[in-house]
Structure 1
């Protein structure tokens, strides 16, 4: 068959809805990604534990609340620890947390003892020993705020000079 007849036949078959057979081959391939677990604990989302102003003779507990916020990859287990602060009576001992008088006029090292807790009843000290006094959670991929409950027990027992007191606590997330 000559080329013209072959072309006419192909055109007639296509016009009739019949297409000529073509050879084909297929393959498959994978599309991949590895998502790594990650957690952050952000200072921008933390709020201070501010006891406000308290009389030096006050005998009632002074309570306050702040917060820390964690954000972890979904299903990632984590633990949040709070250290003893920079003014602890004994280094790294969360049971001896203290705020230091920061007024320039005060020449002595006056301190006010306080404690931080994981629960509103203020019975679970929040510390830095994983599995003992830290807060455990599981990531959702969203910000998860956690309250930090503070207490100055019977402020009058500190025998503190008038002034402003401050401590800096570091929150650490482990995952």
Structure 2
């Protein structure tokens, strides 16, 4: 059976199996009864958080002093939900919220470079992970909010070995 014949056969089966126009609903006049149906939707407090990487500009030669960079955090929380944003110490051993460290990634390089994360461009308010102490506080509006994280790495007079120095800091939204 070729394709046109199959299509024709299919159309005939549809007609035989009862394809027809719907019959209008009947109208009744004996009375009626009603019931109330409750419809509800519960919205629970909630938040999501996302980050962008912080990459300091490459340093060459014998630079000393602070090197600055920024990153962004984005948070969406349900309207009127209070929250705190915290940043932990990072993944390098011996890092603390007040003295974070970047570690070299090459085998054998044990050098670390100190850096800080701050809530303000003047580097006056450290950003930590202790609620009620050094987290950033806000309230949800139901739309995305963006926050800037200000970073500052400190280079000493002794320049470390060439390498990529890094740490992974976890951002947490508490609600």
Kindly indicate whether residue 56 of structure 2 is the aligned counterpart of residue 51 of structure 1. yes
Q: Which of 49, 62, 70 in structure 2 is aligned with 1:65?
A: 70
Change (3 A) 1:157 1:76: farther
TM-score, with length taken from structure 2 = 0.75
Taking a change above 3 Å as real, the CA distance of residues 31 and 158 of structure 1, as seen in their structure-2 partners, is: farther
Distance 1:72 1:157 in 2: 45
| 1:64 positional shift | 0.4
Give, in angstroms, the shift of residue 88 of structure 1.
4.5
The aligned runs of 1:19-168 (5 Å cut-off) are 28-42=36-50, 46-55=51-60, 57-90=62-95, 93-104=96-107, 107-153=108-154, 155-157=155-157, 159-168=159-168
Give a deviation string over 1:17-54, Cα, whole Å, max 9, x none: xxxxx866665453322211111112xxx211111211
Which structure 2 segments of 5+ residues have no match?
Answer: 1-29
CA contact (8 A) 1:88 1:94 kept: no
Q: Which runs of 5+ in 1 are unaligned?
A: 1-21
SS of residue in 1 equivalent to 2:63: coil
Structure 2 distance, partners of 1:74, 1:156, is: 46
TM-score (norm 1): 0.75
Q: Deviations over 1:109-147 (max 9, x none)?
A: 111110000111111110010011001111111111111
- Deviating beyond 3 angstroms after TM superposition, the runs of 4 or more aligned structure 1 residues are 22-30
CA RMSD of aligned residues (A): 2.0
> How many residues are aligned here?
147
Higher radius of gyration, 1 or 2: 1
Aligned partners of 1:158, 1:169: CA distance in 2, in Å? Answer: 26
Secondary structure at the residue paired with 1:94? coil
